[in-house]
Amino acid sequence: MVDVVSALKTRARHLHRAVAFGEPEAVSRVRLLPELRRLDPAELPAVVKRRHCLSAIARELGFQGWPHALAVLQGRKAADFGELLYTGQHSPTLNI
């Protein structure tokens, strides 16, 4: 069985490497983080750390950040799944 947390860490490692090489798509994904929005794109690769990439991936999946994603995926937090199960886009198609 694939460990979801390990898979997300691998995705974060790939994203971090892509940001380090200055790939525009990767840089734009990381720039969505509030602490990195105001940075100049040229200085972004030097500032971004793996924790930023983990947080970006967690937010893309609908979590508040990496600690929230880790708690939910490890089963420590069962009350708040973020948008993992319900994204809001599909509210008109819910069958109650």
pLDDT digits (tens, 9 = 90+) for 26-75: 999 999 999 999 988 788 889 999 999 999 999 998 899 999 999 888 88
Helices (H), 21-92: 24-30, 44-47, 50-60, 66-73
Q: Which of 48, 62, 46 is nearest to 8 (CA)?
A: 62
pLDDT of residue 1: 40
Q: Which of 4-8, 22-26, 52-56, 90-94 has the highest mean pLDDT?
A: 52-56
> CA torsion 81→82→88→89, rounded to 10°?
-100
Which residue type does 17 have?
R
Q: Are 63 and 82 in contact (CB under 8 A)?
A: yes
Residue recorded with tokens 């105001």: 38
Task: Name which of 31-35, 85-89, 91-95 the model is least confident about.
Answer: 91-95
